Amino acid sequence: MQLGTLPGDQAGGTRAVLDGVMAPRLPRPHRDDVRIALAGLLGGLLIWGVGLGTRTARDPLVLMEGRWPILLPLVVTAGCELLRRVRPRTGLLIGIAALTVDCVTRGNLATLVMFTDLVYAAVLYGPPATARRIPWITGLLSVATAIVPFAVWQVPEALLIGVVVGLVTFTPAATGLIVRNHRDAADSARLRAEQTALLAEFDRTQAVTSERARMARELHDMVANHLSAIAIHSTAALSLDDPDTSKRALGVIRENSVAGLAEMRRLIGILRDSGGDLEPAAAPTLDGLGALVDGARTNGLDVTLDTDTDHAALPAPVELAAYRIVQESLTNALKHASPGRVTVALARRDSSLRIAVTSPYGDHGGLGGPRAPGSGAGLVGMRERVALLGGTFTAGADGAHWAVRATLPLTEAEAEGEDV
């Protein structure tokens, strides 16, 4: 096996990756933490330079005489400030050790102040468990350092020890907890606002999509019937050299063109913000089935209508859906059915309206294909209308006939009509 040498740039990248795996890098301190550490160190050096201390040389706690021991806890505490965000618990533990050393020297006020900031940062930036425990620990420590010395020395001044410990430990811990709670509450409120905005945008998109689908169904159902009749009769007029037949075909074409144009204008009037003189048309009802069937007969279909339904007692959404289903079924029969009778039947059974449209199914009268092109959107639109009302829909060949059957529940439609 032959071994090769990596190029220099790839070798350097490989060493960097290996170094990162073998020795994880400490996160870089925040710029504000660097400024805090420098300010604390410089302030402590200034206090040290003028000879100020938190205790006198005669204090019994001062075990390390001289001025130089004061610098060790000062420098260590300033270094811990660099960890206040990236490693808050580590910084606090080292800071406790540094403060312990500072207590046996003459002390430096800057070391004490920086330690309180480490307690505050540990609660604010540390894990949630740390943020909950530190206030309890510092509170108990403050109470203990007040009660125990008072019980031993029996002098009121001993209570001041607990007060000082509370100011140094519990006060910054409680402040950090309050700030953290406010920050978490603000983050939660912002997250809820973002989620609400996303839900509102999703609802708006869904509403636009639903409205576009509804308008697509309306446009298809209103215009497809007329355009299919125009296509079929124009084909007949072009293919037959008979003046009378061509004249009748042109008459049907004109009627369907005018009717289709009128329905398009009404639809545009609905879509416009201001319809002007174009008044929106009322939704069609089952009372118009007779005219719909007459129009289909004019277009050349042999249609019979059988209905025993009281149209006035039906909910408006059911009437509209039933009308459009019958209209689209007649359009499909005009384009695809073989010669023969087309039957339209509507019946109310229990709490539902049942619709059945059957037409001859075969070889399209020897033409070898449909009399007008179709896109398949009609069946999709009918199925969507039925699904919106919670009904059932089937369409397909049933022996020598093509059958479209739909069942529309009335109770759900009444509820939807009340909601609208």
| CA-to-CA dists, residue 102 to 56, 126, 290, 317, 387, angstroms | 13, 25, 102, 83, 79
pLDDT (average), residues 162-182: 95
User: Do 353 and 271 share a domain, yes or no?
Assistant: yes
Look at the pTM and tell me if it is higher than 0.75: no
Residue 278 within any structural domain of the chain:
yes
User: Do 212 and 352 share a domain, yes or no?
Assistant: yes
Band (pLDDT 50/70/90 cuts) for residue 417 is: very low
User: Do 334 and 236 share a domain, yes or no?
Assistant: yes
Instruction: Give the whole-angstrom CA distance, residue 95 versus residue 82.
Output: 11
User: Do 126 and 232 share a domain, yes or no?
Assistant: no
User: Do 173 and 32 share a domain, yes or no?
Assistant: yes
**Where residue 377 sits, what CATH number does that domain have?**
3.30.565.10
AA identity, residue 267:
L
Residue ending a domain, choose from 189, 223, 239: 189
| CA-to-CA dists, residue 157 to 139, 145, 272, angstroms | 19, 12, 85
Task: Quickly count: other Cβ atoms within 10 Å of residue 397's Cβ.
Answer: 10
Residue ending a domain, choose from 133, 157, 189: 189
Cβ–Cβ < 8 Å for 312, 280: no
Q: What is the pLDDT of residues 289-331, one digit of tens each?
A: 888 888 888 877 889 988 876 666 788 888 888 988 998 888 8
User: Do 145 and 45 share a domain, yes or no?
Assistant: yes
Token pair for 354: 């049942």
Instruction: Give the whole-angstrom CA distance, residue 21 versus residue 53.
Output: 46
User: Do 277 and 309 share a domain, yes or no?
Assistant: yes
In the predicted structure, residue 137 carries a pLDDT above the cut 70: yes
User: Do 210 and 184 share a domain, yes or no?
Assistant: no
Band (pLDDT 50/70/90 cuts) for residue 62 is: confident
* Residue 214: per-residue pLDDT: 73
User: Do 227 and 338 share a domain, yes or no?
Assistant: yes
The residues, ordered by sequence, that sit 6+ positions from 108 with a Cβ below 8 Å of its Cβ are: 44, 47, 48, 53, 54, 70, 73, 74, 102
Total domains present in the chain:
2
* 392-398 β-sheet, strand order: 302-307, 341-349, 352-360, 401-409, 392-398
Residue 224 within any structural domain of the chain:
yes
Owning domain of residue 230? 203-419
